[in-house]
Structure 1
Amino acid sequence: MDSIELNDGTLVECTYLTETQFVKLKSNVVQGAIESFKIKYQAEVYQFPDGSVIASKDGIYVQFNSLDDLKSVLDDTNEDQIVTSILHNKNPFGELFPNHTFQLIRQLTDSLQMPEGEPVNAQLLKDIDSKISDLPNPSIFKKKFFINLVAVVGEVICKEHNIKWRMILSDDKQTWHPYLYTPKKPIEFFSYLYEDIYESNRQGSILFEAYQTANDIYPR
Protein backbone atom coordinates (compact mmCIF):
# COMPACT_ATOMS: atom_id res chain seq x y z
CA MET A 1 0.00 0.00 0.00
CA ASP A 2 1.29 3.44 -0.94
CA SER A 3 0.03 6.86 0.14
CA ILE A 4 -0.37 10.41 -1.18
CA GLU A 5 0.19 13.34 1.16
CA LEU A 6 -2.20 16.27 0.86
CA ASN A 7 -1.06 19.85 1.38
CA ASP A 8 -2.44 19.81 4.94
CA GLY A 9 -0.30 16.77 5.80
CA THR A 10 -3.10 14.17 5.60
CA LEU A 11 -2.04 10.82 4.15
CA VAL A 12 -4.46 9.13 1.74
CA GLU A 13 -3.84 5.42 1.23
CA CYS A 14 -3.64 4.20 -2.35
CA THR A 15 -1.93 1.71 -4.65
CA TYR A 16 -0.09 2.82 -7.76
CA LEU A 17 -0.84 0.70 -10.82
CA THR A 18 0.77 0.07 -14.16
CA GLU A 19 -1.25 0.78 -17.28
CA THR A 20 -1.62 -2.96 -17.84
CA GLN A 21 -2.98 -3.48 -14.31
CA PHE A 22 -5.40 -0.58 -14.74
CA VAL A 23 -6.76 -1.95 -18.02
CA LYS A 24 -7.18 -5.42 -16.53
CA LEU A 25 -9.05 -4.09 -13.48
CA LYS A 26 -11.19 -1.84 -15.68
CA SER A 27 -12.34 -4.85 -17.70
CA ASN A 28 -13.90 -6.32 -14.54
CA VAL A 29 -16.08 -3.27 -13.85
CA VAL A 30 -19.72 -3.66 -14.89
CA GLN A 31 -20.56 0.06 -15.07
CA GLY A 32 -18.72 2.56 -17.24
CA ALA A 33 -16.51 5.43 -16.21
CA ILE A 34 -18.00 7.96 -13.80
CA GLU A 35 -18.96 10.92 -15.96
CA SER A 36 -18.80 13.60 -13.25
CA PHE A 37 -15.10 12.90 -12.60
CA LYS A 38 -14.36 12.99 -16.31
CA ILE A 39 -16.00 16.41 -16.65
CA LYS A 40 -14.64 18.05 -13.49
CA TYR A 41 -11.18 16.48 -13.21
CA GLN A 42 -10.48 15.05 -16.69
CA ALA A 43 -9.95 11.71 -14.95
CA GLU A 44 -11.10 8.23 -15.99
CA VAL A 45 -12.63 6.70 -12.87
CA TYR A 46 -14.31 3.33 -12.21
CA GLN A 47 -15.89 2.07 -8.98
CA PHE A 48 -16.10 -1.52 -7.74
CA PRO A 49 -18.95 -3.00 -5.68
CA ASP A 50 -16.84 -2.82 -2.49
CA GLY A 51 -16.54 0.97 -2.90
CA SER A 52 -12.92 1.03 -4.02
CA VAL A 53 -12.05 2.90 -7.21
CA ILE A 54 -9.39 3.00 -9.89
CA ALA A 55 -8.44 6.23 -11.62
CA SER A 56 -6.35 7.32 -14.57
CA LYS A 57 -5.18 10.90 -15.09
CA ASP A 58 -2.23 12.30 -17.03
CA GLY A 59 -0.70 8.86 -17.49
CA ILE A 60 -0.85 7.97 -13.79
CA TYR A 61 -2.91 4.97 -12.63
CA VAL A 62 -3.99 4.63 -8.99
CA GLN A 63 -6.41 2.58 -6.89
CA PHE A 64 -8.12 4.20 -3.86
CA ASN A 65 -10.23 2.79 -1.04
CA SER A 66 -13.16 5.08 -1.85
CA LEU A 67 -14.45 7.85 -4.08
CA ASP A 68 -14.03 10.28 -1.17
CA ASP A 69 -10.31 9.47 -0.98
CA LEU A 70 -9.90 10.02 -4.71
CA LYS A 71 -11.88 13.27 -4.58
CA SER A 72 -9.77 14.63 -1.73
CA VAL A 73 -6.60 14.03 -3.76
CA LEU A 74 -8.01 15.55 -6.95
CA ASP A 75 -9.40 18.59 -5.11
CA ASP A 76 -6.07 19.08 -3.34
CA THR A 77 -4.22 18.96 -6.65
CA ASN A 78 -6.59 21.41 -8.33
CA GLU A 79 -6.42 23.78 -5.38
CA ASP A 80 -2.64 24.04 -5.37
CA GLN A 81 -0.93 22.78 -8.50
CA ILE A 82 2.44 24.17 -7.43
CA VAL A 83 3.49 24.11 -3.79
CA THR A 84 6.15 26.77 -3.45
CA SER A 85 7.87 24.95 -0.59
CA ILE A 86 8.52 21.22 -0.43
CA LEU A 87 8.44 21.48 3.36
CA HIS A 88 5.02 23.17 3.32
CA ASN A 89 3.17 21.92 6.46
CA LYS A 90 6.05 19.54 7.26
CA ASN A 91 8.12 21.65 9.67
CA PRO A 92 5.84 22.40 12.64
CA PHE A 93 8.66 24.11 14.56
CA GLY A 94 9.35 26.80 11.97
CA GLU A 95 12.45 28.88 12.63
CA LEU A 96 12.98 27.05 15.95
CA PHE A 97 13.51 23.69 14.25
CA PRO A 98 17.19 23.40 15.40
CA ASN A 99 16.02 23.50 19.03
CA HIS A 100 13.98 20.33 18.50
CA THR A 101 16.26 18.10 16.39
CA PHE A 102 17.35 15.76 19.19
CA GLN A 103 13.75 15.46 20.37
CA LEU A 104 12.82 14.47 16.80
CA ILE A 105 15.67 11.96 16.63
CA ARG A 106 14.56 10.38 19.92
CA GLN A 107 10.97 10.19 18.65
CA LEU A 108 12.21 8.47 15.51
CA THR A 109 14.41 5.89 17.24
CA ASP A 110 11.70 5.16 19.82
CA SER A 111 9.21 4.52 17.01
CA LEU A 112 11.68 2.02 15.52
CA GLN A 113 12.27 0.43 18.96
CA MET A 114 15.97 1.19 18.84
CA PRO A 115 18.18 1.35 21.98
CA GLU A 116 18.48 4.68 23.75
CA GLY A 117 21.67 6.68 23.60
CA GLU A 118 23.06 5.51 20.28
CA PRO A 119 25.75 7.91 18.97
CA VAL A 120 24.49 10.34 16.34
CA ASN A 121 26.81 9.33 13.51
CA ALA A 122 26.83 7.71 10.08
CA GLN A 123 26.31 4.26 11.58
CA LEU A 124 23.05 5.45 13.16
CA LEU A 125 21.82 6.45 9.70
CA LYS A 126 22.62 2.97 8.40
CA ASP A 127 20.83 1.38 11.36
CA ILE A 128 17.73 3.54 10.84
CA ASP A 129 17.73 2.75 7.10
CA SER A 130 17.83 -0.95 7.95
CA LYS A 131 15.05 -0.71 10.54
CA ILE A 132 12.78 1.18 8.16
CA SER A 133 13.40 -1.30 5.35
CA ASP A 134 12.16 -4.09 7.63
CA LEU A 135 8.82 -2.38 8.30
CA PRO A 136 5.63 -3.68 6.62
CA ASN A 137 5.10 -0.31 4.92
CA PRO A 138 8.31 1.77 4.80
CA SER A 139 6.77 4.37 2.48
CA ILE A 140 4.06 5.47 4.94
CA PHE A 141 6.53 5.50 7.84
CA LYS A 142 9.02 7.72 5.99
CA LYS A 143 6.32 10.22 5.09
CA LYS A 144 4.98 10.28 8.64
CA PHE A 145 8.45 10.87 10.08
CA PHE A 146 9.91 12.94 7.25
CA ILE A 147 10.93 15.92 9.39
CA ASN A 148 12.52 13.50 11.89
CA LEU A 149 14.61 12.03 9.07
CA VAL A 150 15.74 15.52 8.06
CA ALA A 151 16.75 16.14 11.68
CA VAL A 152 18.90 13.03 12.07
CA VAL A 153 20.73 13.40 8.75
CA GLY A 154 21.40 17.07 9.46
CA GLU A 155 22.69 16.46 12.99
CA VAL A 156 25.12 13.81 11.75
CA ILE A 157 26.52 16.27 9.22
CA CYS A 158 26.65 19.07 11.81
CA LYS A 159 28.58 16.89 14.22
CA GLU A 160 30.98 15.60 11.58
CA HIS A 161 31.89 19.06 10.25
CA ASN A 162 31.36 21.06 13.47
CA ILE A 163 28.75 23.31 11.85
CA LYS A 164 25.26 24.52 12.79
CA TRP A 165 21.81 24.81 11.27
CA ARG A 166 20.81 27.89 9.29
CA MET A 167 17.07 28.42 8.90
CA ILE A 168 16.03 30.19 5.68
CA LEU A 169 12.52 31.42 4.94
CA SER A 170 11.12 30.07 1.67
CA ASP A 171 9.47 32.09 -1.08
CA ASP A 172 6.02 31.37 0.35
CA LYS A 173 6.99 33.54 3.36
CA GLN A 174 5.60 30.88 5.70
CA THR A 175 7.89 27.85 5.61
CA TRP A 176 11.33 27.74 7.22
CA HIS A 177 13.84 25.50 5.45
CA PRO A 178 16.63 23.84 7.44
CA TYR A 179 19.99 24.46 5.78
CA LEU A 180 23.41 23.75 7.24
CA TYR A 181 25.68 26.75 7.67
CA THR A 182 29.25 26.81 6.30
CA PRO A 183 31.44 29.91 5.90
CA LYS A 184 31.28 29.55 2.10
CA LYS A 185 27.62 28.71 1.47
CA PRO A 186 24.60 27.04 3.12
CA ILE A 187 24.19 23.33 2.39
CA GLU A 188 20.74 22.17 1.30
CA PHE A 189 20.20 18.43 1.62
CA PHE A 190 16.53 17.95 2.55
CA SER A 191 15.41 18.03 -1.10
CA TYR A 192 17.32 14.78 -1.72
CA LEU A 193 15.31 13.09 1.00
CA TYR A 194 12.09 14.63 -0.29
CA GLU A 195 12.70 13.35 -3.84
CA ASP A 196 13.53 9.84 -2.61
CA ILE A 197 10.48 9.64 -0.34
CA TYR A 198 7.75 11.60 -2.10
CA GLU A 199 8.66 11.49 -5.79
CA SER A 200 10.62 8.35 -6.63
CA ASN A 201 9.52 6.32 -3.57
CA ARG A 202 13.02 4.84 -3.38
CA GLN A 203 13.75 2.12 -0.88
CA GLY A 204 17.04 1.19 0.77
CA SER A 205 19.70 3.40 2.32
CA ILE A 206 18.18 6.80 1.63
CA LEU A 207 19.42 8.43 4.85
CA PHE A 208 23.00 7.32 4.43
CA GLU A 209 22.95 8.27 0.75
CA ALA A 210 21.59 11.76 1.54
CA TYR A 211 24.40 12.11 4.07
CA GLN A 212 26.97 11.05 1.47
CA THR A 213 25.56 13.49 -1.09
CA ALA A 214 25.73 16.35 1.42
CA ASN A 215 29.36 15.45 2.14
CA ASP A 216 30.12 15.43 -1.57
CA ILE A 217 28.82 18.98 -2.01
CA TYR A 218 30.34 20.28 1.24
CA PRO A 219 32.57 23.25 0.31
CA ARG A 220 36.22 22.44 0.91
Structure 2
Amino acid sequence: MKKEQTVDDHPDSVVDTISSTEKLLAHVVTPQLPWRIHGYDVEHDLARHYSLLETFLLAFTGEIAPENYGRALEIALIFLSPKSVAHDSTHAGILTQVIGASPSPILSTTLMILTEEAQDLIKRHELLLNLLNQEELNYLPEEFQTEDAQERASVERLALALEETGITLPFKEFSRDAALLYTLHRVGLKTPLQLCSVIVLSRLPAIVAEVGYWQKGKLENYPMKLPNFRYED
Protein backbone atom coordinates (compact mmCIF):
# COMPACT_ATOMS: atom_id res chain seq x y z
CA MET A 1 0.00 0.00 0.00
CA LYS A 2 1.34 3.42 -0.95
CA LYS A 3 2.14 5.56 2.05
CA GLU A 4 0.29 8.87 2.14
CA GLN A 5 2.75 11.74 2.42
CA THR A 6 2.26 14.61 4.80
CA VAL A 7 3.90 18.00 5.06
CA ASP A 8 6.22 16.66 7.78
CA ASP A 9 7.57 14.00 5.38
CA HIS A 10 9.19 16.65 3.18
CA PRO A 11 12.52 18.31 3.97
CA ASP A 12 12.55 21.97 4.82
CA SER A 13 12.50 24.38 1.90
CA VAL A 14 14.91 27.29 1.64
CA VAL A 15 12.23 29.56 3.03
CA ASP A 16 11.74 27.27 6.03
CA THR A 17 15.43 27.47 6.93
CA ILE A 18 15.53 31.29 7.00
CA SER A 19 15.38 32.87 10.42
CA SER A 20 13.23 35.88 9.59
CA THR A 21 11.74 38.74 11.53
CA GLU A 22 8.21 38.36 12.87
CA LYS A 23 7.15 41.86 11.82
CA LEU A 24 6.84 43.69 8.51
CA LEU A 25 8.46 47.02 9.25
CA ALA A 26 7.16 50.31 7.81
CA HIS A 27 10.03 52.48 6.60
CA VAL A 28 8.28 55.29 4.72
CA VAL A 29 4.56 55.51 5.54
CA THR A 30 3.04 55.02 8.98
CA PRO A 31 0.68 52.01 9.05
CA GLN A 32 -2.29 53.94 10.45
CA LEU A 33 -3.77 57.40 10.95
CA PRO A 34 -2.47 60.02 11.23
CA TRP A 35 -0.65 59.23 7.99
CA ARG A 36 2.98 60.32 7.85
CA ILE A 37 5.57 60.07 5.08
CA HIS A 38 9.09 60.00 6.49
CA GLY A 39 7.71 61.62 9.62
CA TYR A 40 5.86 64.47 7.88
CA ASP A 41 2.13 64.67 8.60
CA VAL A 42 0.30 64.14 5.30
CA GLU A 43 -2.92 65.99 6.10
CA HIS A 44 -1.72 68.83 8.33
CA ASP A 45 1.66 69.53 6.77
CA LEU A 46 2.28 68.07 3.30
CA ALA A 47 -1.21 68.70 1.88
CA ARG A 48 -1.18 72.31 3.07
CA HIS A 49 2.38 73.41 2.40
CA TYR A 50 3.89 71.21 -0.31
CA SER A 51 3.06 70.29 -3.89
CA LEU A 52 2.32 66.76 -5.04
CA LEU A 53 5.71 66.46 -6.74
CA GLU A 54 7.52 67.79 -3.68
CA THR A 55 5.72 65.05 -1.75
CA PHE A 56 6.89 62.52 -4.33
CA LEU A 57 10.48 63.67 -3.88
CA LEU A 58 10.10 63.38 -0.12
CA ALA A 59 8.83 59.79 -0.49
CA PHE A 60 11.65 58.85 -2.87
CA THR A 61 14.55 60.58 -1.12
CA GLY A 62 13.46 60.79 2.51
CA GLU A 63 14.01 64.55 2.61
CA ILE A 64 12.07 67.69 1.80
CA ALA A 65 13.59 68.87 -1.46
CA PRO A 66 14.20 72.52 -2.32
CA GLU A 67 11.12 74.11 -3.90
CA ASN A 68 12.90 74.54 -7.23
CA TYR A 69 13.44 70.77 -7.41
CA GLY A 70 9.71 70.16 -7.32
CA ARG A 71 9.19 72.61 -10.15
CA ALA A 72 12.06 71.11 -12.16
CA LEU A 73 10.55 67.64 -11.71
CA GLU A 74 7.21 68.98 -12.88
CA ILE A 75 8.78 70.42 -16.04
CA ALA A 76 10.64 67.20 -16.81
CA LEU A 77 7.54 65.05 -16.34
CA ILE A 78 5.49 67.29 -18.62
CA PHE A 79 8.17 66.92 -21.29
CA LEU A 80 8.09 63.14 -20.75
CA SER A 81 4.31 62.80 -20.76
CA PRO A 82 3.38 62.39 -24.47
CA LYS A 83 2.73 58.84 -25.66
CA SER A 84 0.76 58.59 -28.89
CA VAL A 85 -1.06 55.69 -30.55
CA ALA A 86 2.20 54.99 -32.37
CA HIS A 87 3.73 53.70 -29.13
CA ASP A 88 3.26 50.11 -28.00
CA SER A 89 1.94 50.99 -24.54
CA THR A 90 -0.86 53.19 -25.90
CA HIS A 91 -1.64 50.79 -28.72
CA ALA A 92 -1.96 47.90 -26.25
CA GLY A 93 -4.29 49.89 -24.03
CA ILE A 94 -6.53 50.73 -26.99
CA LEU A 95 -6.66 47.11 -28.14
CA THR A 96 -7.53 45.95 -24.63
CA GLN A 97 -10.33 48.52 -24.51
CA VAL A 98 -11.89 47.61 -27.85
CA ILE A 99 -12.07 43.92 -27.00
CA GLY A 100 -14.23 44.90 -24.01
CA ALA A 101 -11.86 44.54 -21.06
CA SER A 102 -12.49 46.15 -17.67
CA PRO A 103 -10.17 48.83 -16.20
CA SER A 104 -8.00 46.30 -14.36
CA PRO A 105 -6.67 44.43 -17.43
CA ILE A 106 -6.53 47.67 -19.45
CA LEU A 107 -4.33 49.33 -16.84
CA SER A 108 -2.25 46.27 -16.04
CA THR A 109 -1.50 45.66 -19.73
CA THR A 110 -0.71 49.31 -20.36
CA LEU A 111 1.45 49.63 -17.25
CA MET A 112 3.41 46.48 -18.01
CA ILE A 113 4.40 47.69 -21.47
CA LEU A 114 4.88 51.27 -20.30
CA THR A 115 7.24 50.04 -17.60
CA GLU A 116 9.19 47.97 -20.14
CA GLU A 117 9.55 51.06 -22.33
CA ALA A 118 10.79 53.13 -19.41
CA GLN A 119 13.16 50.39 -18.31
CA ASP A 120 14.58 50.19 -21.83
CA LEU A 121 15.12 53.96 -21.87
CA ILE A 122 17.03 53.75 -18.59
CA LYS A 123 19.06 50.77 -19.76
CA ARG A 124 20.14 52.61 -22.91
CA HIS A 125 21.39 55.47 -20.72
CA GLU A 126 23.11 53.31 -18.11
CA LEU A 127 26.54 54.79 -18.84
CA LEU A 128 25.23 58.34 -18.49
CA LEU A 129 23.55 57.53 -15.17
CA ASN A 130 26.70 55.82 -13.88
CA LEU A 131 28.76 58.90 -14.74
CA LEU A 132 26.22 61.10 -12.96
CA ASN A 133 26.21 58.86 -9.88
CA GLN A 134 30.01 59.06 -9.78
CA GLU A 135 29.91 62.83 -10.40
CA GLU A 136 32.22 62.32 -13.35
CA LEU A 137 30.21 63.76 -16.24
CA ASN A 138 33.12 65.82 -17.54
CA TYR A 139 32.28 64.98 -21.13
CA LEU A 140 29.20 63.82 -23.00
CA PRO A 141 29.56 60.39 -24.64
CA GLU A 142 28.59 60.45 -28.29
CA GLU A 143 25.61 58.11 -27.86
CA PHE A 144 23.88 60.74 -25.69
CA GLN A 145 24.31 63.54 -28.22
CA THR A 146 22.03 64.52 -31.08
CA GLU A 147 22.42 66.46 -34.28
CA ASP A 148 18.73 66.32 -35.14
CA ALA A 149 17.41 69.86 -35.45
CA GLN A 150 13.97 69.16 -33.98
CA GLU A 151 15.44 67.29 -31.04
CA ARG A 152 17.94 70.06 -30.33
CA ALA A 153 15.12 72.60 -30.43
CA SER A 154 13.23 70.50 -27.86
CA VAL A 155 16.30 70.42 -25.59
CA GLU A 156 16.58 74.21 -25.93
CA ARG A 157 12.95 74.55 -24.84
CA LEU A 158 13.66 72.31 -21.86
CA ALA A 159 16.66 74.45 -20.89
CA LEU A 160 14.52 77.58 -21.21
CA ALA A 161 11.75 76.10 -19.05
CA LEU A 162 14.29 75.09 -16.40
CA GLU A 163 15.76 78.58 -16.12
CA GLU A 164 13.28 79.56 -13.40
CA THR A 165 14.50 76.63 -11.28
CA GLY A 166 18.17 77.53 -11.48
CA ILE A 167 18.99 74.12 -12.97
CA THR A 168 21.04 74.29 -16.15
CA LEU A 169 21.86 71.59 -18.69
CA PRO A 170 25.65 71.20 -18.90
CA PHE A 171 25.68 70.22 -22.58
CA LYS A 172 23.72 71.82 -25.41
CA GLU A 173 24.42 68.67 -27.46
CA PHE A 174 22.27 66.54 -25.12
CA SER A 175 19.76 64.27 -26.80
CA ARG A 176 16.23 64.90 -25.55
CA ASP A 177 16.07 61.68 -23.52
CA ALA A 178 19.52 62.27 -22.01
CA ALA A 179 18.62 65.83 -21.03
CA LEU A 180 15.43 64.67 -19.32
CA LEU A 181 17.20 61.87 -17.43
CA TYR A 182 19.87 64.37 -16.37
CA THR A 183 17.12 66.61 -14.98
CA LEU A 184 15.50 63.75 -13.05
CA HIS A 185 18.87 62.76 -11.62
CA ARG A 186 19.62 66.39 -10.73
CA VAL A 187 16.55 66.60 -8.49
CA GLY A 188 17.49 63.43 -6.60
CA LEU A 189 16.01 60.52 -8.56
CA LYS A 190 19.01 58.28 -9.09
CA THR A 191 18.01 54.61 -9.00
CA PRO A 192 16.43 52.73 -11.92
CA LEU A 193 13.34 52.03 -9.82
CA GLN A 194 12.86 55.70 -8.95
CA LEU A 195 13.42 56.82 -12.52
CA CYS A 196 11.17 54.15 -13.99
CA SER A 197 8.40 55.02 -11.52
CA VAL A 198 8.23 58.72 -12.37
CA ILE A 199 8.52 58.13 -16.12
CA VAL A 200 5.57 55.71 -15.98
CA LEU A 201 3.66 58.15 -13.77
CA SER A 202 4.17 60.98 -16.26
CA ARG A 203 2.96 59.00 -19.27
CA LEU A 204 -0.04 57.13 -17.91
CA PRO A 205 -2.64 59.95 -17.92
CA ALA A 206 -2.27 60.75 -21.64
CA ILE A 207 -2.46 57.05 -22.50
CA VAL A 208 -5.60 56.55 -20.39
CA ALA A 209 -7.16 59.60 -22.04
CA GLU A 210 -6.36 58.22 -25.50
CA VAL A 211 -7.77 54.82 -24.59
CA GLY A 212 -10.94 56.48 -23.31
CA TYR A 213 -11.75 57.80 -26.78
CA TRP A 214 -12.20 54.24 -28.07
CA GLN A 215 -15.59 52.65 -27.52
CA LYS A 216 -15.42 49.62 -25.28
CA GLY A 217 -16.17 46.32 -27.00
CA LYS A 218 -16.27 47.82 -30.50
CA LEU A 219 -13.60 45.72 -32.19
CA GLU A 220 -15.00 46.70 -35.60
CA ASN A 221 -13.64 50.21 -35.00
CA TYR A 222 -10.10 48.87 -34.74
CA PRO A 223 -8.07 48.93 -38.00
CA MET A 224 -7.38 45.22 -38.43
CA LYS A 225 -4.95 45.77 -41.31
CA LEU A 226 -2.50 48.15 -39.72
CA PRO A 227 -0.11 48.06 -41.48
CA ASN A 228 -1.81 46.81 -44.60
CA PHE A 229 -0.70 43.19 -44.96
CA ARG A 230 -1.79 40.08 -46.77
CA TYR A 231 -1.29 36.37 -46.25
CA GLU A 232 0.58 34.35 -48.85
CA ASP A 233 0.94 30.58 -49.18
TM-score band, normalised by the shorter chain?
Answer: under 0.3
Higher strand share: 1
Report which of the two structures shows the higher radius of gyration computed on alpha carbons.
Answer: 2
Higher helix share: 2
